[in-house]
Amino acid sequence: MKYGLRLPQYSLLMSVFGVILFFSCSEKEDQIPDEKILARIGNKTIAVNEFIRRAEHTIRPAYCKQDNYIHKKIILNSLIAEKLFALEAGLDNELVKNEEFRNYIRGRQEQAMRQYFYYDRAYNKVEPDTAEIKRVYKLAGRIYRIQYLRLPDENSVSAFMKLHREGGIPFDSLAMDILGDSTIPERQINFNDDLSNEFFDLFYSKPLEKDQLIGPVKNEDDSFLIMKVAGWKTRVVISDKEIKQRWNDVRDKLKNIAANQLYNQQVSELMKGKRLKFTEDTFYQLTDILAPLYMKNIQDKKEAFNQKFWKKEVEVDFDTTYDQSIESLRHKPLFTLDGIVWTVADFEKALQSHPLVFRKRQFSSKEFPEQFKYAVADLVRDIQINREAYKVGYNNVPVVKNYANMWHDDLVSMHWRNEYLKRAGFQGNFGDNYMEAIEDYLNPYVDSLQQKYSDLIEINTDAFEKIDLTNIDMFAIQRNVPYPIVSPSFPILTTDNKLDYGRKMIIE
The string of pLDDT tens digits covering residues 337-381 is 988 999 999 999 999 999 999 988 788 889 899 999 999 999 999
Q: What is the pLDDT of residue 311?
A: 36
> What percentage of the chain exceeds 70 in pLDDT?
88
Confidence of residue 463 (pLDDT cuts 50, 70, 90): very high
Judge whether 442 lies within some domain: yes
Let me know whether 432 and 482 are in one domain: yes
CB 147 within 8 Å of CB 279: no
> Final residue of a domain: which of 208, 235, 262?
235
Let me know whether 388 and 281 are in one domain: yes
Let me know whether 227 and 317 are in one domain: no
Judge whether 31 lies within some domain: no
Is 19's pLDDT higher than 80? Answer: no
Q: What integer is the mean pLDDT of 178-185?
A: 87
CATH assignment at residue 200: 3.10.50.40
Q: What is the 3-state secondary structure (H, E, C) of 121-177?
A: HCHHHCCCCHHHHHHHHCCCCEEEEEEEEEECCHHHHHHHHHHHHCCCCCHHHHHHH
Q: Is the dihedral of CA 445, 451, 452, 458 positive or negative?
A: positive
**Phi, psi for 506 (deg, rounded to 5):** -90, 120
Q: What is the pLDDT of residue 297?
A: 63
Q: What is the pLDDT of residue 8?
A: 30
How many domains, in total, are found in the chain? 3
Q: What is the pLDDT of residue 34?
A: 61
Let me know whether 168 and 227 are in one domain: yes
Of the spans 21-30, 311-320, 346-355, 476-485, which averages the highest pLDDT?
A: 346-355
Let me know whether 194 and 105 are in one domain: no
CB 38 within 8 Å of CB 83: no
Q: What integer is the mean pLDDT of 68-88?
A: 97
Bigger pLDDT: 25 vs 104: 104
What is the span of the domain harbouring residue 477?
A: 37-92+404-504
Let me know whether 84 and 191 are in one domain: no
Q: What is the pLDDT of residue 308?
A: 39
Judge whether 52 lies within some domain: yes
Judge whether 328 lies within some domain: yes
Q: What is the pLDDT of residue 150?
A: 92
CA distance 143 to 146: 10
Confidence of residue 438 (pLDDT cuts 50, 70, 90): very high
Confidence of residue 77 (pLDDT cuts 50, 70, 90): very high
Q: What is the pLDDT of residue 84?
A: 98
Is 312's pLDDT higher than 70? Answer: no
Closest CA to 80 of 504, 469, 409: 409
> What percentage of the chain exceeds 90 in pLDDT?
73
pTM of the predicted structure, to 2 decimals: 0.84
Q: What integer is the mean pLDDT of 1-9?
A: 29
CB 236 within 8 Å of CB 138: no
Hey, is 193 helix, strand or coil? coil
Let me know whether 367 and 445 are in one domain: no
> Final residue of a domain: which of 368, 394, 420?
394
Confidence of residue 25 (pLDDT cuts 50, 70, 90): very low
Let me know whether 281 and 390 are in one domain: yes
Judge whether 19 lies within some domain: no
Judge whether 240 lies within some domain: no
Judge whether 5 lies within some domain: no
> Final residue of a domain: which of 183, 204, 235?
235
Burial class (CB in 10 A: 0-12, 13-18, 19+), 109: buried
- Which residue type is seen at 339? G
- Concatenating the DSSP letter of every residue in 392-404 gives TTGGGSHHHHHHH
Instruction: Convert the pLDDT of each residue in 225-260 to its tens digit.
Output: 999 999 999 999 999 999 999 999 999 999 999 999
Judge whether 364 lies within some domain: yes
CB 104 within 8 Å of CB 353: yes
Q: What integer is the mean pLDDT of 36-57?
A: 94
Let me know whether 115 and 157 are in one domain: no
Let me know whether 286 and 365 are in one domain: yes
Q: What is the pLDDT of residue 7?
A: 30
Buried b (16+ CB within 10 A) or exposed e, 246-260: beeebbebbbbbbbb
Let me know whether 372 and 419 are in one domain: no
CA distance 117 to 111: 10
Let me know whether 290 and 317 are in one domain: yes
CA distance 471 to 491: 17
Contacts of 281 (CB under 8 A, 6+ apart): 332
CA angle 374, 380, 381 (to 5 degrees): 90
Closest CA to 14 of 220, 266, 351, 274: 274
Q: What is the pLDDT of residue 252?
A: 95
CB 74 within 8 Å of CB 355: no
Is 431's pLDDT higher than 70? Answer: yes
